[in-house]
Structure 1
């Protein structure tokens, strides 16, 4: 896997050593203070006793509130399950443990179900059974290893690789946590497991689309963390809610990146003038984000510039893949239609001679690129119109206008790697990007100034209240945006 720390349109230095450092070494490490990191597949291990559906050992069984009293919703106390069946007497009777659910719930393989008690509660008094490498045994083992073995089984629907979402790994870890199990963060070197990630922009966006869609599918399913058991720590519940709802940020981000620019064109802004309390809330939010940024940089071991590059990639993914995921899942929920996915392309085995970075600069146009392109055009046009209104005399407080224009360019700066990536360029800034941005800006400003019907009677050609009018010199621009 790889995050956006090495992405500036294309990967800075193509390498197999790119890692999802901010997520694995930042977010997962932060969760270690509660019930532990979520299960994300690559690099994660399970104890067999947890994966088979056994309950964790408890003294007081109940909710997280008032744990010294057994929790708000205290239940019956019991000891660690299965210990009484791993004694010497139990082994002599042929009992090495018990199954947490009916034997038939583990699928059609009786041989597999018979190994679960001993594997989950190993006893020093019992010798491991000899495995005969017969053809029938091997065939049954292959069948058990198949991905579809646990489908439509009790264990598969309640504990195992839960179906109904493409991010089944997150659901599996969630099922473990709501039963009361804990996970722990561990980072070793060299890495025991290494996953792969696409380096082509289009493939990367489709991968993010698949992940974000899977998260929303969890939110709209029976595995919604809002309704988890009382064994789930409150802060752990918040973490799972964040994991299953983060694609919704695309809706707010679309307004955040377009409405300020459109206000320059319409001359009105939908938000009232900021108050003192607004600035207090803003300071609190910015301070919290600053603390999070410092922790991510420190824990992940990245530079501030790499951290910002990751933010730029998040901006691109939010405006494209996250928004598409929200639309797809809403269609699935409302119209009961299945979602088809484009799997991540990977280099087949035996293609070692093929250049692994051949697709790095290849541009594959996709519908996911439409929204970021529209946002770029809206902000360029909005800034150009504001510039034209200042030159035309409609707005006289050009210093205040500059605040809004700066915000528009801040949005463009975040989407600059995307503009560079769709050109398939690497290294220095492609001149064509700056040329097209400047060309669009100038053309929009010139058209606004010279076409009367665009800016109406209040502009240069209006006469009554425009630049040449007698009523007033121009309309004031109050604050960073034009207030009605």
Structure 2
């Protein structure tokens, strides 16, 4: 067990004791014979209850953290290694630059793995012609790039880094020139096509192009413009037993990741139940302060290693090596009619299901032509109707967060997973660099989490009887995470000391603590709240699930603000208003509290509240700066500040009226108590009577 895990586990009894004491205090205050607690008091108590339950589930991550080391040199010879299909998905060429997508494709083709057992598929849900043209350019450039990588033994094989490689030979200068020409052609194709076609993510006819007339050094490329159907198409083309799934901007930083994954998949001790190997998501564009908490440190430093000691980490969307068989479910059924009801009416695909471990790369033009016709049928938007695709097989569609839900169901079926976190990042992607993209992304994630929580697949109901208790608690924590907005709105308080302990024990800085606290507060009142609301509305049929790709395009001013560590408030009013409103409320509370302490002298009653408001203001000073001091393009828009001020005045007026009503009710109770006390002895008389009636000493 690591030092950080030991510190966290050592203090769990202390935290638990504090919670018991808190509940005892709150319950005793409610149950004692006195005037009933006010509504604000009950809201605070409910908030503390919710935070305590979330804290309790969070402890499951710290019970058994593990770390793993691989030894790729112990793998079998190359000819004995199984095939791998790489799936790269894109959806909108306006938000996901084609050049970045092609760099990811080229880095995947250059993996340190037998080229005759590696195939790369690119799926474009948007159906943009620039993707097809870009793939053709990438295929041509790969003829020079792949032999170059192997000849010089490059440790990072994304062609984007070629600009940073010192030039020691004419070959390197030559490949740089070819890459510049490749960039120019891809960017030009994007400009020409971008002005002519509108991207549509709706149903469209699939276009499948196979490019595998390559030299021995090249891996085959299969370019498929279709919505999330690569799994079926690859099944009849190459049918590799293992699948690597990558986001379009998540390039392969370490070419040995495939061999590292095979160390687990080919281990006879864990392989039978193993479904996938999850690598952490790491990003190449994080600034030194990480002002948007883009590195997801708590997930990949604390939570996933903790789950790895249980049943394994959750499926995280990208950077995982999946066993194809795990996505097909139970393959023991041999009845053809049943198979067609499950997998659809493609005879070629049904035959491929029972030949997963027979790598079937296309060898000649005739077979390629026939398989492309079958692939068109498999890729049609109507193929999966009245089948089990998306319901029990493949990546499951019950939630907009299909990776989380698919991993959850696999774990419920008894499958396991492994977290592999090597010292050199296996994959590097692009993190969000502005507030709007971060909140939109967070809203989508929390909508998907709460959508599952409100369904029949709720981890507390569906998972408890199918997974170990601690694994269920880990899923339960994420299931309740969207509800963080409730205690933050009602209480404006969280377990700050525990977070400080986590940050320091993992070697992070105080600046990291402040950034993570700020982003958590922002997400709690926006992404968590809107995600929960979307999930509730979907349950009542008032909203449909939607997927908005995260914008990967950043202008120069946006990048400059991010590198300087300044928040970019170019976001929607709907996202900014709750944040600014809470900041203004805390400013008013702080000023009013300080005045009350010095004028009325109520230090004992007010100091804690004033300190909490001061802490919130200190953590969110960049927001105050954006409201009052900054003049650049990324400042908080003045209309948003004015709207938030109006909402603050309304909330303060409403609170004032509520307190006045409660004071009037309390006054009536006091008057009644005073009138009844006229006929009863005073406290001094009561004591005197008890003394007189007691036995003498």
Aligned to 2:579: 372
**What is the CA-CA distance between 1:117 and the residue it aligns to?**
1.5
**3-state SS, counterpart of residue 173 of structure 1:** helix
Aligned to 2:487: 252
Aligned to 2:508: 302
Aligned to 1:53: 329
Aligned to 1:315: 521
Q: Which runs of 5+ in 2 are unaligned?
A: 1-249, 251-279, 563-567, 650-658, 661-697
Aligned match for 1:357, one of 536, 559, 566: 559
Q: Tell me which of the two structures has the higher relative contact order, counting C-alpha pairs closer than 8 angstroms and 6 or more residues apart.
A: 1
Hey, what's the Cα distance between the residues in 1 that align with 2:601 and 2:578? 33
Aligned to 2:312: 36
Hey, what's the Cα distance between the residues in 1 that align with 2:533 and 2:442? 14
Aligned match for 1:388, one of 592, 595, 603: 595
Hey, what's the Cα distance between the residues in 2 that align with 1:364 and 1:424? 18
Higher share in helix = 2
Q: Tell me whether 39-48 or 131-140 shows the greater mean CA deviation.
A: 131-140
**What is the CA-CA distance between 1:314 and the residue it aligns to?**
0.9
Question: For residues 157 and 136 of structure 1, do their structure 2 counterparts lie closer, same or farther at Cα, with a shift above 3 Å needed?
Answer: same
Hey, what's the Cα distance between the residues in 2 that align with 1:27 and 1:225? 17
Question: For residues 98 and 307 of structure 1, do their structure 2 counterparts lie closer, same or farther at Cα, with a shift above 3 Å needed?
Answer: farther
Instruction: Give the count of matched residue pairs.
Output: 358
Aligned match for 1:23, one of 280, 295, 299: 299
Aligned to 1:450: none
Q: Tell me whether 37-46 or 110-119 shows the greater mean CA deviation.
A: 110-119
Contact 2:281 2:319 in 1 (8 A): no
Corresponding position: 1:343 with 2:580: no
**What is the CA-CA distance between 1:316 and the residue it aligns to?**
1.1
Contact 2:488 2:525 in 1 (8 A): yes
Aligned match for 1:113, one of 327, 335, 350: 350
Hey, what's the Cα distance between the residues in 2 that align with 1:202 and 1:36? 32
Aligned to 2:430: 196
**What is the CA-CA distance between 1:363 and the residue it aligns to?**
1.8
Contact 1:39 1:170 in 2 (8 A): yes
**What is the CA-CA distance between 1:310 and the residue it aligns to?**
1.5
Hey, what's the Cα distance between the residues in 2 that align with 1:411 and 1:302? 20
Hey, what's the Cα distance between the residues in 1 that align with 2:454 and 2:573? 27
Question: For residues 311 and 387 of structure 1, do their structure 2 counterparts lie closer, same or farther at Cα, with a shift above 3 Å needed?
Answer: closer
1:424-435 aligned within 5 A:
none
Aligned to 2:476: 241
Contact 1:376 1:412 in 2 (8 A): yes
Question: For residues 399 and 128 of structure 1, do their structure 2 counterparts lie closer, same or farther at Cα, with a shift above 3 Å needed?
Answer: closer
Contact 2:485 2:524 in 1 (8 A): yes
Contact 1:363 1:423 in 2 (8 A): no
1:406-421 aligned within 5 A:
406-420=611-625
Hey, what's the Cα distance between the residues in 1 that align with 2:282 and 2:360? 47
TM-score, normalisation: structure 2: 0.44
CA deviation string 1:328-382 (max 9, x = no partner): 222222354325554322239xxxx978826844623331111111111111112
Aligned to 1:479: none
Question: For residues 6 and 250 of structure 1, do their structure 2 counterparts lie closer, same or farther at Cα, with a shift above 3 Å needed?
Answer: farther
Q: Which runs of 5+ in 1 are unaligned?
A: 56-80, 83-96, 259-281, 445-453, 456-484
**What is the CA-CA distance between 1:224 and the residue it aligns to?**
1.4
**3-state SS, counterpart of residue 46 of structure 1:** strand
Hey, what's the Cα distance between the residues in 2 that align with 1:208 and 1:228? 25
TM-score, normalisation: structure 1: 0.61
Hey, what's the Cα distance between the residues in 2 that align with 1:139 and 1:190? 42
Hey, what's the Cα distance between the residues in 2 that align with 1:254 and 1:238? 25
- Once superposed, what is the RMSD of the aligned Cα atoms? 4.7
Hey, what's the Cα distance between the residues in 1 that align with 2:382 and 2:505? 42
Aligned to 1:92: none
Aligned match for 2:411, one of 151, 174, 177: 177
Aligned to 1:468: none
Hey, what's the Cα distance between the residues in 2 that align with 1:4 and 1:382? 39
Aligned to 1:165: 399
Hey, what's the Cα distance between the residues in 2 that align with 1:359 and 1:409? 26
Hey, what's the Cα distance between the residues in 2 that align with 1:318 and 1:222? 25
Hey, what's the Cα distance between the residues in 1 that align with 2:359 and 2:319? 31
